[in-house]
């Protein structure tokens, strides 16, 4: 009963008596505490000033939480960016500073939860947007009972295994299909079940995000978000979207109907606008039309204003660039509303399939 998660009795910082740890505080400081004596606030003492967190923060479980304008393991450094920039970097997708679960220090969120073992705490993420406590039926920070043992916790939301459903995967699902048959039905002609845009349950796809009519089809094969540019304009305003592909109006062409067929400039004027900083036309990876680069269709991953970007540099999840939940913009994923993460793999919406 006195062993911590690493099977060490009282974290080697106390003695076990009748199943309870008595922490070693012979100096009377009370700086060692916790159920397994896992917290040692002596780690927060600055060697030079001998003050807790250098006098510029508070200590919790051996970790310093610095006041605004200070950062470092022991709050020994002052911040070198403006308060506005610091706030911008700490703002979570829902518009809250560190998701109301942490402290913003010099543009970085220090989440309020700390795992004494040194691993992720229950609250984590660049802006503390993930709360693993939401995956547990009964909260106990020393238990790994996520999603009732029938799923995986992904940023505070349960992804249930086949045969289980519910917010915390507590409910068994009656299905006459085997797991393999179910996945095969959901896969269709795609490489992934539900085209990587939905959840497969008993051979049927539930497309997500929930309620978004732009993602549809028997296997979620249609994604009309792909017809939108970074500003949300559908087919450049010069066409209609059909199952994720733009059908352009007469006089326009391109993946997003962004190029006019008629051009009112000379060839020389056009080429001048297509030259990149090194003087090469469309970086040598495309052709120029009316002052805009059209990147080579043979190399699907080439993009950018001057065909100077490689979409293979964007993060992948489940084999999909930006998980299919965002647009790759010159090596970085621009996530659609409700999605977050380097590869747009984290759903932050209020509903979850």
Residue 134, token pair as written in the block: 């939401």
Question: pLDDT value at position 353?
Answer: 40
Mean pLDDT of the chain: 83
* Domains (range + CATH), the chain: 10-79 (2.10.25.10), 90-172 (2.10.25.10), 179-220 (2.10.25.10), 242-302 (no CATH), 314-347 (2.10.25.10)
pLDDT of 328 above 90? no
Poorest-pLDDT segment among 72-76, 138-142, 211-215, 237-241: 138-142
Question: pLDDT value at position 178?
Answer: 83
What lies within 8 Å, CB to CB, of 184 at 6+ separation is: none
Instruction: Give the model confidence (pLDDT) of 300-320 as tens digits.
Output: 788 888 998 888 888 887 777
**Average pLDDT for 320-334:** 83
**Average pLDDT for 212-241:** 90
Residue 117, token pair as written in the block: 């073992």
CA–CA distance, 165 with 352 (Å, rounded to integer):
11
Question: pLDDT value at position 331?
Answer: 82
Judge if pTM exceeds 0.95. Answer: no
**Average pLDDT for 21-28:** 84
pLDDT of 44 above 80? yes
**Average pLDDT for 180-186:** 89
Distances from the Cα of 202 to the Cα of 159, 176, 180, 185, angstroms: 15, 8, 10, 9
Comparing 113 with 255, the larger pLDDT belongs to 255
Instruction: Give the model confidence (pLDDT) of 97-109 as tens digits.
Output: 898 888 887 888 8
pLDDT of 279 above 50? yes
CA–CA distance, 115 with 132 (Å, rounded to integer):
12
Instruction: Give the model confidence (pLDDT) of 115-171 as tens digits.
Output: 544 445 678 888 888 888 778 766 554 455 778 888 888 888 888 887 787 788 887
Distances from the Cα of 53 to the Cα of 44, 74, 77, 193, angstroms: 5, 4, 11, 50
* Cα atoms found within 13 Å of the Cα of residue 154, Cβ hemisphere only: 20
Question: pLDDT value at position 235?
Answer: 95
Instruction: Give the model confidence (pLDDT) of 52-80 as tens digits.
Output: 998 888 888 888 888 877 778 888 888 88
CA–CA distance, 69 with 174 (Å, rounded to integer):
56
User: Token match 């310093």: residue?
Assistant: 64
Question: pLDDT value at position 71?
Answer: 78
Instruction: Give the model confidence (pLDDT) of 244-264 as tens digits.
Output: 999 999 999 988 998 898 888
């Amino acid at each position: 009963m006195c062993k911590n998660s690493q099977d060490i009795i009282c974290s080697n910082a106390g003695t076990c008596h009748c199943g309870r740890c008595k922490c070693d505080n012979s100096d009377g400081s009370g700086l060692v505490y916790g159920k397994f004596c896992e917290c040692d606030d002596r780690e927060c003492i600055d060697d030079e000033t001998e003050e807790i967190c250098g006098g510029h923060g508070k200590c919790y479980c051996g970790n310093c939480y610095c006041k605004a304008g200070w950062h470092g393991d022991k709050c020994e450094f002052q911040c070198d960016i403006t308060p506005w920039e610091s706030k911008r970097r700490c703002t979570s997708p829902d518009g809250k500073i560190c998701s109301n679960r942490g402290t913003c220090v010099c543009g970085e969120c220090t989440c309020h939860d700390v795992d004494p073992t040194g691993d992720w705490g229950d609250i984590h993420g660049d802006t503390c947007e993930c709360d693993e406590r939401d995956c547990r039926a009964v909260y106990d920070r020393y238990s790994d009972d996520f999603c009732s043992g029938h799923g995986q916790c992904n940023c505070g939301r349960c992804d249930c295994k086949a045969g289980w459903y519910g917010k915390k995967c507590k409910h068994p699902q009656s299905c006459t299909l085997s797991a393999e048959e179910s996945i095969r039905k959901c896969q269709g002609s795609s490489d992934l079940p539900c085209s990587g845009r939905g959840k497969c349950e008993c051979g049927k796809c539930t497309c997500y995000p929930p309620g978004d009519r732009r993602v549809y089809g028997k296997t979620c094969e249609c994604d009309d978000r792909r017809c939108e540019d970074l500003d949300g304009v559908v087919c450049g305003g010069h066409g209609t979207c059909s199952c994720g592909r733009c059908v352009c109006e007469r006089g326009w062409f391109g993946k997003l109907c962004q190029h006019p067929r008629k051009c009112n400039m000379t060839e020389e004027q056009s080429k001048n606008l297509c030259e990149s900083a090194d003087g090469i036309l469309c970086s040598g990876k495309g052709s120029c039309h009316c002052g805009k680069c059209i990147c080579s269709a043979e190399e699907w991953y080439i993009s950018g204003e001057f065909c100077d970007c490689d979409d293979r540099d964007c993060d992948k999840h489940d084999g999909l660039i930006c998980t299919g939940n965002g647009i790759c913009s010159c090596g970085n994923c621009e996530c659609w509303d409700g999605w977050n993460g380097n590869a747009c793999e984290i759903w932050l919406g209020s509903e979850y399939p």
